[in-house]
Amino acid sequence: MTTVQEVVRALAEVRDPELDEPLTTLGFVSAVRVTQVRVEVWLRLPTYFCAPNFAWLMVDGARAAVLALDGVQEADVRLADHFAADEINGAATLAHAFPGRSQGELTELRDVFARKAFVARQARLCEALLHAGRTPEEVSALRLSDLDPGPEVERCRTLRAELGIAASPRDPAFVLPDGRPLDGDGLRRWLRVARLVGLSIEGNAGICRGLLRTRYGLRDPEGAG
């Protein structure tokens, strides 16, 4: 039988599309129950009015991740305390949940936020290198294989693959969100915007975490806010 740990590990691969962080580290998974071949997952969000399209993507993503586990035949993923919970819970597709409410799928929306996430993560890597004394010219000349391995680099690689940006070891380490390479000057200008994208996501994530704690009376692991 599938274990709760296996389910949680699978859910750790599902991310909030806006924040690009796993549902598990954000505290969005409130309960998991495994009964033979059936898995129940409860999700909770920071506010009653969190955007329904992102809520749908998380529920749908969680369901797919759990169903992909060996031995799971049924995955019941339920959203709690949300204005659109009745619509989302139990619906097999977006069109079932919100009939006539979407012009097409959410692919483009997901793509926009994958790009933002990619830009923000690249900016963090880039700033760390500049702080360590590298020049923009040197940084712009780096190849992916020149970067020290780590979760941030790994995530960038995954996002590149999702976005159709070349990600072989010989490809430039830092590129524009459409895949074009940057020279030293371009890198300086890009970074000015890119770190703003990172700041926006970071701020949003901070507010989300704070509101979730307040809403559910959770302890603050960092002891602030």
Partner 1 sequence: MYEKDGERYFIVDGHIHFWDASPANQANKYGTGFIKCFYDYQQNLSPPEFKWSLEKFEKYSEDDLLHDIFEVGYADVAIFQPTYLTDFYTNGFNTTEQCAAVAEKHPGKFIVNGAFDPRDGEAGLEALEALVERYQLKGVKLYTAEWKGDSRGWRLDSPEAYLYLAKCRELGVRNVHIHKGPTIWPLNRDAFDVSDVDDAATDFPELNFIVEHLGLPRLEDFCWIATQEPNVYGGFAVAMPLMYTRPRYFAQIIGELCYWLDENRLLFGSDYAIWQPKWLVEQFVDFQIPDDLLSEYAPLTPDVKRKILGLNAARLYDLEVPAELDVLSVAEIAPARPAVGSEPVSPV
**Region of 35-43, 111-119, 139-147, 151-159 interacting with partner 1 (CB under 8 A):** 111-119
Q: Which is nearer to partner 1, 34 or 172 (CB)?
A: 172
Backbone angles phi, psi at 71, to 5 degrees: 85, 0
The burial class, CB within 10 Å (0-12 / 13-18 / 19+), for 11 is buried
**Region of 29-37, 59-67, 164-172, 191-199 interacting with partner 1 (CB under 8 A):** 191-199
Q: Is 194 in the site for partner 1 (CB under 8 A)?
A: yes
Backbone angles phi, psi at 46, to 5 degrees: -65, -30
- The number of residues making up the chain comes to 225
Backbone angles phi, psi at 14, to 5 degrees: -100, 130
* Tokens of residue 134, six digits: 């590298």
**Region of 40-48, 69-77, 136-144, 150-158 interacting with partner 1 (CB under 8 A):** 40-48
Residue reference for tokens 């993923």: 77
Q: Is 91 in the site for partner 1 (CB under 8 A)?
A: no
Q: Is 98 in the site for partner 1 (CB under 8 A)?
A: yes
Site size for partner 1 (CB under 8 A)? 51
4-23 residues near partner 1, rule: CB under 8 A: 18
Q: Is 30 in the site for partner 1 (CB under 8 A)?
A: no
Binding test (CB under 8 A) with partner 1, winner from 50, 65, 66, 125: 50
Q: Is 31 in the site for partner 1 (CB under 8 A)?
A: no
End-to-end CA distance of the chain: 41
Q: What type of residue is 215? A: R
130-159 residues near partner 1, rule: CB under 8 A: none
Contact 6, 23 (CB under 8 A): no
Q: Which is nearer to partner 1, 10 or 97 (CB)?
A: 97
202: left (phi over 0), alpha (psi -120 to 50) or beta: alpha
Binding test (CB under 8 A) with partner 1, winner from 115, 121, 157, 160: 115
Q: Is 78 in the site for partner 1 (CB under 8 A)?
A: no
* Rg from Cα positions in the chain: 19
The HSE-up count of residue 180 (CA atoms within 13 Å, CB side) is 6
Q: Is 96 in the site for partner 1 (CB under 8 A)?
A: no
Q: What is the greatest pairwise CA distance in the chain?
A: 58
Q: Is 51 in the site for partner 1 (CB under 8 A)?
A: yes
Residues within the interface to partner 1 (CB under 8 A): 18, 46-53, 56, 83, 94, 98, 101-106, 108-109, 112, 115-116, 119, 176-177, 180, 186, 189-190, 192-194, 196-197, 199-204, 206-207, 210-211, 213-215, 224-225
